[in-house]
Amino acid sequence: MSFIRNIFKNSRSEKDGNFFLQLEKILEFKPKSEALYVKAFTHRSMNIRDKKGNPINYERLEFVGDAMLSSVIAFHLYEEVPHGDEGYLTKMRSKIVSREHLNELGRDLGLIDLVQSRIPKSNFGNNIHGNLFEALVGAIYLDKGYKFCEKFIYNRVIDPYVDIETLEGKVISYKSLLIEWCQKEKNTFNYDVYEDTGNDELKHFSVKLSINNKVVSKARATSKKKAEEKASKRAFFAFQKQITKLI
């Protein structure tokens, strides 16, 4: 434990503040195994290994945290929505643990301020916030056990963010929703994606979305995935009445 902690302390500047003081304000309890929390905020770019040669970064803790979030939230939904069938409960859990929602949680807690990395924070993508949140949950579980982890998830996720009625109307992927609707209604669909650099420095992609061989929407973004999602969102509003029943 001291080996990892010393590496961490020696590589941080004073302006980053006291790591463990900031951490305890977020956790609202004192960590038992500080090394786990150091690992939870260490990016792989640090290229640190323990005495056995194992990498010290948050990725494995992220895996554990993801499982714990799914478990606690699944039980909460099971208790709170007795009329919900398996499909409904699965959809609702997906909305709560969506990447968008986890990123929001990580941002609200300011977790990126604690991360140790050789990459400038401005270069991180949005998902760093959710990744750190999952890693923190994983560290809490391994450090303090299920009950502490469950309490943290209720305090930081379920109580402040989970409203069943609001979530029922929340769309987490317009593309998935549109494809589900097309398959159910036996409509053909096609995403025609092509590179579109235009006058921009960054590479862009444009997409034409066709349903039953008719172009219904177009969009442009910095990745194929984002362009397809934007086109799907525009198509959703064009067919909202027909699709709404699937949400």
- The catalytic residues are 66, 134
Are 138 and 82 in contact by the 8 Å Cβ rule? The answer is: no
Residue whose C-alpha is closest to residue 38's, from 108, 94, 115: 115
- SS3 call for 90: helix
Are 92 and 99 in contact by the 8 Å Cβ rule? The answer is: no
Q: In what order do the strands lie in the sheet with 205-211?
A: 189-195, 205-211, 214-221
User: Within a 10 A sphere around the Cβ of 14, how many other Cβ atoms?
Assistant: 6
**Spatial distance between the Cα atoms of 92 and 168, rounded to a whole number of angstroms:** 7
Residue whose C-alpha is closest to residue 111's, from 96, 138, 133: 133
